[in-house]
Structure 1
Amino acid sequence: MREDDPLLRPYHLRRLRLANRIVSTSHEPAYSEDGLPKGRYRRYHVEKARGGVGLTMIGGSAVVSRDSPPAFGNLQLHRDEIVPWLRELTDAVHEHGTAVMCQVTHLGRRSSNFTGDWLPLVHPSPQREPAHRSVPKIAEPWDLERILADYVSAAQRCAAAGLDGIELQSYGHLLDSFLSPRTNPDGGTLDERMAFPRRVITAVRAAVGPEFIMGIRMALDESCAGGLPLAEGLAAAHCYLADGIDFLSTIKGTIDNDAALARVIPPMGEPSAPFLEFTAAVKRELGIPVMHAARIADVATARHAVAEGMLDLVGMTRAHLADPHLVAKIRSGQEDRIRPCVGASYCLDAIYSDGAAKCVHNPATGREGTLPHELSPIHGAPRRIVVVGAGPAGLEAARVLGGRGHEVVLFEAGQDPGGQLLLAARSPRRRDLLGIVDWRVREAKQAGVRLRFGVLAEPEDIRAERPDMVILATGGSPAREFLGEGGELIEDSWDVLSGGAQGTGDVLVYDEHGANQALDAAEVLANAGAHVRYATPERTLAPDVGAMIAPGYLKVFAEHGVRTTLAERLVGVRRADGRLRARLRSEYAEQEHEITVDRVVTERGTLPNDELYFALLPESSNLGEIDHTALLAGREQRVVANPAGEFALFRIGDAVTSRNIHAAVLDALRLCSAIGPREAQKGAPAQ
């Protein structure tokens, strides 16, 4: 550890001493239960405190009123019963020397009136928000009076719970909707438009007293037509500071549609830390403690920002979802062991796809009650374990097993690790996915795992290792056999991404999978000069690609004139006049039509590479069976279906069925973290 590391210097935010300059800024992982920060929510934040973060901010958009219904698992600050749960979380975080604050807001129109109590949403104008699709009513004076009182009560609950402070939210929600001329077109002058936000700030400050810390996360420049300009944003901020604000968290842009949100919270494929210069200029202008978070994913960038005085506190929020022990690793001189945030934005998109934030390659995040972030060593004789396949599942299995102390050898048929991630990273937009591979290879090597690349493992290779256990992560291959006519004429997305099927001409990209792969292929082809038509039987384009990542693809589609066809299924391909005729059938009407192209590229997910699994199955003690109850409880697998078997046999990742990166590493972690010493086979408990 460098004693003079700018990131590790303490910082005094008025009366509050922060142990370092790194913050996990306000965000909502949707881990609440019944709108309260119960066990899962608490464990998530305590893990970051244990990992050394200086300040963790909870309640990303914790709501103050009943007509601000939770849109993504928001905490409900309008309820008195939240106070003891907040107190329990606060006390647990404080035990590790970390400060904790809560973001406080009224969502305004950024929710749905078709949820919660089905109350109408309020806003200064009747403009519908594209992202959440509800039309608000214009707030009446009595609405503003009760909401003002709700802000005060919510802040008082936070103070009563022992929190170190609060942060008002002012971008994309109710407070800034009054300030912005775009969302409050009839609001009048700047003084008139900021009147309600100033009333809220003044009332909250009076209610919580002069010592309680109050900040604001604020869009100072909306960077869009008719939006709040920087000059007005700075003028408003000056007034807010005079009203009682202690610190500012800077935002540039707005968030009411997917494209705008992806600019404010940039995903992979976008430049790192795009708003640091903007934040530095704001800090110079206002002379107030400033924090900022926007794709500051690596320690070097964070260190530079603090060292150069561009900000006072650096938000590394998504980086902490990837590695909650980030600060502890800096402090102990193990920066190279930090699990990298690769910018996949699965953390955000998963909230909408399945209800809670998930790091694309840290399955323990949000599952702290059952899965470990740090590996504990076994106590007893290590097992001899063979892992086959060096994709994300196999590398994770090797990392975990080696990290616990087992004797592990990994066989990989290719010359390089990565599996399907090597293909995905061929798309410039997703090249950062290689961080998932590189980190696991380093960790596996450090744990003493023997990595054998260029070896297509056969049953005899595995038997020669005399293993106690075999874990197959052999992945999958493209599912191409589906056409009644012309199956031999098609290519797949792997052909494109591997570089073997690029070039110009008219290309049909047919997507029956709905994830990134077909969009990656379409982007690569379009950038190479092909005229691309994208077709899918789905009623929406790539439904498994989330709102954070989709705008980048849609930008490419627009720039290159990619045509899209929905609700049509590819049913046949034939040659005609030196080209291909692709037959498409409507999903909703009894009709077909043909289009003429030069090539047809299909994407239908993968089918398991399971030949080795079935070859080894008769020799296994468990015959491949997995005890799901034990798996989900974090207990070791003890199935013995074949007492004469030589080893336990498991398969994980796409060797089971076509899924995604997160599923692959989750398979590996929850299976392998429970595997104890060899004695455990004879009844001793796993360590």
Structure 2
Amino acid sequence: MALDPLLQPYQLKHLTLKNRLMLTAHEPAYPVDGMPKEAYRAYHVERAKAGIGLTMTAGSASVAKDSPPVFNNILAYQDEVVPWLRDLTDECHDYGTAVMIQLTHLGRRTRWDKADWLPTLSASSQREMAHRAFAKQVEDWDIERLIRDYADAAERMQAAGLDGLELQAYGHLMDQFWSPLTNTLEAPYGGHLDNRLRFTFDVLGAIRERVGPDFLLGVRYTGDEMLDGGLTAEEGFGISQRLKDSGLVDFLNVVRGHIDTDPGLTDVIPVQGMRSAPHLEFAGEIRKHTDFPTFHGAKIQDIGTARYAIETGKVDMIGMTRAHMADPHIVRKLMAGQEDRIRPCVGANYCLDRIYQGGAAYCIHNAATGRETTMPQDIEPADVTRKVVVIGAGPGGLEAARVAAERGHTVVVMEAMSDAGGQIRLTAQSERRREMIAITDWRVAECERLGVEFRYNCWAEADDVLAEKPDAVIVATGGFPIDDQPSNGHELTVSSWDILSGHVKPGARVLLFDEAGDHPALQAAEIIAASGAELEIMTPDRSVSPEIMAMNLVPYMRKLQRDNVRFTPTYRLTSVTKDDAELVATVGSDYLSIAQQRRVDQVVVNYGNRPLDDLYFDLKPHSSNGGEVNYDALIAGESQEVIRNDTGTFQLFRIGDAVSSRNTHAAIYDALRLVKDL
């Protein structure tokens, strides 16, 4: 531990950071009315308790009313924010964790029809593709106002007791001044590079004058937009040197790329199946060029990569933000010599994708993250030990077994297959999504450490369960693809699962009809397209794969467009018939009465799943609660006390797809909140 580079302190001006791990600025969208209230504070405090050196709040806190909170941002332009941030900061300081915040004006990276319906603002009138709003080109009086807004916001942050702040300068207003692609102003704020940087230095000067020399200031910026006509790496080195030489900033936080489109954003913050740490070497070049404190974070999802970044001197502080959403206790486990017990980030990006779709950030396989006020990150032992039987070793069943075992209960898991994993095993058949298997591998390892008994190749019947004399039974049997649609000709189709599992090989001319809009359809499509087949993906929805959110969609689209796949939204498969060696798929629409035909040799369908719930209903009469769940208690994070049958000998619950077709996170959350109080 004493020799671990990650656990060495770092001196940043007057501030000693106790280790080299940080949360980079990010907005998990937990604010209430723009304020970082209880849930927001609990999220950061949980990571401070575990020993993180620096937590950077907000991504980003908005400094002005014409930067409306499209990501549910903290409103740094309101005085009310000060006491909320002070509470968060004081509590993190109690654990020795430094706290900073990222301030921004979103510029054109927002919408005019949010909040106060003010026009979006930028250094040109160009529209950002991601948010589709045309911006008003900034005027002189806007610039004067914005400089004042930034300084006012910084003064509030200092009043809240924070250790410092950074300004956001990639994709937001500052970078929109920097980039020749988005700055059409004339001098003094447009034209050559120094003019385009003038707004940033005016803001930094105003902030420094307001907060004095000791409050730490930095800039998180792109050192290379990687766009034709945009900021180049050479200009990025020049900007980095100018920032250092200004004497106004104390650290640099470097990224690379652009975020004005979904593909651009995904390259800056890669998802699973994409290269790890893609910008670390570039950040290291900035650090070497400037010899100035440099932070960085972008898909640093494992300890080995983070350790390399610090040990080789690439950067001074390394960000592991998504990794700390998966496991907030990384530092604690490192210090305890339990690196092998860290819950892995699998890069599923459920967290970020939810934010960009207007939801709160949740980790795909840590359901307590973002819910620290009601869900525990550490499971407390039960007062009385019990016998718990879990049916099914998919992600939900394994989470139920893990949590029950952490409670100290005796746990038996019955699994029909020869291995654990459930639908995750199908997901992991795709090379690009292979990391997903870590969701189940980690849980199996934890269950084995805790003494859970696994019975594989065990198709459990009611009598088998009753013979165990359980106190609680968790049915996590999952679901199975809906196979009776379309009503006419469904027997001529194959499912996306058939393709994913390899049980059915792709045809030469394939129609893939996707009504569920989730991952199995596009994973099957990748396999079909890779075989060289001619493929059409059809959906009744108005867009392709609506359950696959923006950043996860990017690698699918890159692969499928490369293979010339045809996409047909707003059409519905109505029937399939056989005509000699061909299949005839009849296609209709929900919008009007039409009938078209596709002549293919394979029809693949993805209608979602039906619960495998026979065992649950067989067990209901023997249970004390009749399977009933008190939803009010469930939502509040309280224990289940329902009694419907005085002669019942055990509590019975079903979770995940055994209830209804949902997703991995839902199954794990079901398990955690039902079992944590057993």
The TM-score by the shorter chain falls in which range?
Answer: over 0.9
Q: Report the equivalent of 2:177.
A: 178
2:537 to 534, 539, 544: 534
1:271 to 275, 279, 285: 275
Superposed CA offset, 1:156-215 (max 9, x none): 110111100000000000111111111114531111111111111121112111111001
Paired residues for 1:101-500 under 5 Å: 101-186=100-185, 187-243=190-246, 244-353=248-357, 355-380=359-384, 382-500=385-503
User: Alpha-carbon deviation of 1:369?
Assistant: 0.5
Q: Which amino acid aligns with 1:562?
A: V
Residue aligned with 1:549, SS: helix
User: Alpha-carbon deviation of 1:239?
Assistant: 1.6
Paired residues for 1:478-557 under 5 Å: 478-557=481-560
Verify the 8 A CA contact 2:71 2:358 in the aligned structure 1.
Answer: no
Query: What CA distance in whole angstroms lies between the structure 2 residues aligned with 1:530 and 1:395?
Result: 37
Q: Report the equivalent of 2:89.
A: 90
Superposed CA offset, 1:465-497 (max 9, x none): 111111100000001212221111000010000
2:583 to 580, 584, 590: 580
Paired residues for 1:22-37 under 5 Å: 22-37=21-36
Query: What CA distance in whole angstroms lies between the structure 2 residues aligned with 1:616 and 1:312?
Result: 57
Alignment RMSD (CA, Å): 1.0
Query: What CA distance in whole angstroms lies between the structure 2 residues aligned with 1:274 and 1:77?
Result: 32
Superposed CA offset, 1:412-463 (max 9, x none): 0000100001001111221111010001001111111101111111112111
User: Alpha-carbon deviation of 1:308?
Assistant: 0.8
Query: What CA distance in whole angstroms lies between the structure 2 residues aligned with 1:150 and 1:241?
Result: 24
Verify the 8 A CA contact 1:164 1:212 in the aligned structure 2.
Answer: yes
Verify the 8 A CA contact 2:29 2:359 in the aligned structure 1.
Answer: yes
Q: Report the equivalent of 1:594.
A: 597
Verify the 8 A CA contact 2:506 2:602 in the aligned structure 1.
Answer: no
Query: What CA distance in whole angstroms lies between the structure 2 residues aligned with 1:493 and 1:566?
Result: 18
Superposed CA offset, 1:264-298 (max 9, x none): 00000101111111111111001111111111000
Verify the 8 A CA contact 2:47 2:328 in the aligned structure 1.
Answer: yes
User: Alpha-carbon deviation of 1:395?
Assistant: 0.2
1:666 to 641, 648, 669: 669
User: Alpha-carbon deviation of 1:354?
Assistant: 5.2
Query: What CA distance in whole angstroms lies between the structure 2 residues aligned with 1:484 and 1:632?
Result: 38
Q: Which amino acid aligns with 2:56?
A: M
User: Alpha-carbon deviation of 1:353?
Assistant: 3.5
Verify the 8 A CA contact 2:130 2:261 in the aligned structure 1.
Answer: yes
Query: What CA distance in whole angstroms lies between the structure 2 residues aligned with 1:420 and 1:389?
Result: 11
Q: Report the equivalent of 1:680.
A: none
Runs of 5+ unmatched residues, structure 2: none
TM-score using structure 1 length: 0.97
Query: What CA distance in whole angstroms lies between the structure 1 residues aligned with 2:652 and 2:480?
Result: 21
Query: What CA distance in whole angstroms lies between the structure 1 residues aligned with 2:382 and 2:619?
Result: 27
Superposed CA offset, 1:203-244 (max 9, x none): 111211111100110001000111100111221222222221
1:17 aligns with 2:20: no
1:629 aligns with 2:628: no
Q: Report the equivalent of 1:648.
A: 651
Deviates more, 1:48-57 or 1:229-238: 229-238
Query: What CA distance in whole angstroms lies between the structure 2 residues aligned with 1:480 and 1:352?
Result: 33
Deviates more, 1:366-375 or 1:624-633: 624-633
Verify the 8 A CA contact 1:504 1:529 in the aligned structure 2.
Answer: no
Superposed CA offset, 1:125-161 (max 9, x none): 1110111111111000000000000000011110111
Verify the 8 A CA contact 2:395 2:440 in the aligned structure 1.
Answer: yes
1:561 aligns with 2:549: no
Verify the 8 A CA contact 1:201 1:240 in the aligned structure 2.
Answer: no
Q: Which amino acid aligns with 2:364?
A: V
Q: Which amino acid aligns with 2:539?
A: T
Residue aligned with 1:444, SS: helix
Runs of 5+ unmatched residues, structure 1: 676-687
Residue aligned with 1:548, SS: helix
Q: Which amino acid aligns with 1:79?
A: Q
User: Alpha-carbon deviation of 1:579?
Assistant: 1.2
Verify the 8 A CA contact 2:17 2:53 in the aligned structure 1.
Answer: yes
Identity %, equivalent residues: 51
Query: What CA distance in whole angstroms lies between the structure 2 residues aligned with 1:216 and 1:258?
Result: 23
User: Alpha-carbon deviation of 1:639?
Assistant: 1.1
Query: What CA distance in whole angstroms lies between the structure 2 residues aligned with 1:3 and 1:92?
Result: 26
Query: What CA distance in whole angstroms lies between the structure 2 residues aligned with 1:516 and 1:173?
Result: 31
Total equivalences in the alignment: 673
TM-score using structure 2 length: 0.98
Superposed CA offset, 1:499-535 (max 9, x none): 1222340111110001111011101111122211100
Deviates more, 1:664-673 or 1:451-460: 451-460
